[in-house]
Amino acid sequence: MLRRITIQRPLSIVFFLLACCLVMSRPARGTDARPIIHPVFEIRDAQPQLKQTIDSILTAADRQLAAYGGIAFADTIVVLVATRHEQFDSVVGGRFPDWGVGCAIPELNTMIILSPFLYPYQIELAEVLRHELAHLYLHRLAGWSRLPRWMDEGFAMLIGHQWRFGDDWQVGRAVLTGEELTLHEIDALNRFGEGKAHLAYGQSYLGMKYLLDEYGWDSFLLFISELRRHNQLDPAFMAAVGLDYAGFQDEYAAYLKTKYNWATLLSDTMLFWIVIVLLLLLLYLFKRRHVKKKVEEWERATPTDDIFYPAGERKDQEYPGIGQQ
Ligand SMILES: [Zn+2]
């Protein structure tokens, strides 16, 4: 489960000036051969070994983003490692679910994580760091325009490699029971409980994956570029995918319905056999419980001797010698 929320704060002039210093590298698939300048990671409050681990994870993630998406920034990214929850809360402003372990603060070019030594995560440290780095990069790329939350989280999950079989199952179950979220609803993610937030993260990932699979990376970058220029979702979506935001949400909702229905779920071979095994297991447990209950009822209603011996005839009467030796 995830584990971070991005804070939206008013922009200051300082941060606006920082935005003007943004250095973007070329798209990896382009022909421009300008050198990519990478950031420096300033890691605070971590032991030397942890510091080295964090630096190597973030450096690799930065290279991956530059190589795949042409996204890189020449700057210093601060990584705070909180050794106390209070320290973490004071940085993120108390607007963070208690199940989070990391948070990106794009306008400060900073991320904060709870120390993995003191607060064991349910996920890999690398996932958290890649996730937070993706938030920082995406917000900077968008010039701090307001991003749809699902896009923000979905992009971070893609870069964080955070999609698992259980996520697929959770989203599928929500769709089959009509409890899936709209993309717009995911904007309220910070107010969700852990279960609903998990669903929101899964749907965010699928939303981002759908956008990239259906329209391509270049369309996504065009969307971000338009959003940076106009700070409005409708024209940005229109330029990138030919639909306004509501139209794209409808298309995504239809995609979910197509992806998750009983026929397609059961056509997944592994899922099919998992369902069969679970059903057989449930059937076995039900039958065993039923038989046990019946036997107990019989024993209560009829003493065993009454079943095997005619009325009035006792076991010791049939074998008079028994019990007297
Ligand atoms: Zn996130």
Domain boundaries, the chain: 1-144, 148-267, 273-303
What's the whole-number mean pLDDT along residues 62-78?
A: 82
Q: What is the pLDDT of residues 279-292, one digit of tens each?
A: 888 888 888 888 88
- In the three-class reduction of DSSP (H, G, I as helix; E, B as strand; rest coil), residue 41 is classed as strand
pLDDT tens for 13-41 read 232 222 223 333 334 444 445 566 788 89
Asked if pLDDT for residue 270 goes beyond 80, the answer is no
For residue 309, how far is its CA from the centre of ligand 1 (angstroms)? 73
Residue-wise pLDDT tens digits, 128-167: 999 999 999 999 899 989 999 999 999 999 999 888 767 8
The fold of the 1-144 domain, in CATH, is Glutaredoxin (3.40.30)
97 compared with 114, residue with greater pLDDT: 114
Confidence (pLDDT) at 169 = 83
Answer for the pair 205, 152: CB distance below 8 angstroms, yes or no. no
Q: What is the pLDDT of residue 318?
A: 52
Question: How many Å lie between the centroid of ligand 1 and the Cα of residue 60?
Answer: 19
| Ranges 105-109, 167-171, 226-230, 301-305: which has the least confidence | 301-305
Distance of CA 88 to the CA centre of its chain: 21
Q: What DSSP state is assigned to residue 111? A: E
Q: What percent of the chain has pLDDT over 90?
A: 45
Q: What is the pTM of this model?
A: 0.71
Alpha carbon of 106 to ligand 1 centroid (Å): 11
Cβ-based neighbours of 119, under 8 Å, separated by 6 or more? 85, 101
Residue that wins the pLDDT comparison between 118 and 151: 151
Q: Phi-psi category of 302—alpha, beta or left, where left has phi over 0 and alpha has psi -120 to 50?
A: beta
Compute the distance from residue 42 Cα to the ligand 1 centre, in Å: 20
- Label residue 285 left, alpha or beta by phi (over 0 means left) and psi (-120 to 50 means alpha): alpha
If you measure from the C-alpha of residue 307 to the centroid of ligand 1, how many angstroms do you get, rounded to a whole number? 68
pLDDT digits (tens, 9 = 90+) for 229-255: 999 999 999 999 999 999 999 999 999
pLDDT given for residue 30 in this prediction: 43
CA of 35 to the centre of ligand 1 (A): 29
pLDDT (average), residues 207-215: 97
Residue 321 pLDDT > 80, yes or no?
Answer: no
Report the share of the chain in percent with pLDDT over 70: 77
Q: What is the pLDDT of residue 309?
A: 59
pLDDT at position 44 over 80: yes
Q: How confident is the model at residue 304 (pLDDT cuts 50, 70, 90)?
A: low
Average pLDDT over residues 285-308: 75
The alpha carbon of 61 and the centre of ligand 1 are apart by a number of angstroms equal to 15
Mean pLDDT for the stretch of residues 80-86: 90
Reduced to 3 states (helix: H, G, I; strand: E, B; else coil), residue 250 is: helix
Of the chain, the end-to-end C-alpha distance in Å amounts to: 71
Q: For the chain, state the CA radius of gyration.
A: 29
pLDDT of residue 18: 29
Q: What pLDDT does 311 receive?
A: 59
Inter-residue contact 161 to 130 (CB < 8 Å): yes
Please identify every residue whose CB atom is under 5 Å from ligand 1, which is an ion.
4, 153, 156
**Residue 297 pLDDT class (50, 70, 90 cuts):** confident
Least confident of 85-89, 190-194, 243-247, 312-316: 312-316
Q: Tokens at residue 258, please?
A: 């197509």
Split at pLDDT 50, 70, 90, the class of 298 is: confident
Query: Which residue, 233, 240, 223, 200, is CA-closest to 99?
Result: 200
Q: In the prediction, which pLDDT does 150 show?
A: 97
Higher-pLDDT residue of 117, 134: 134
Distance 131 CA to ligand 1 centre (A): 6
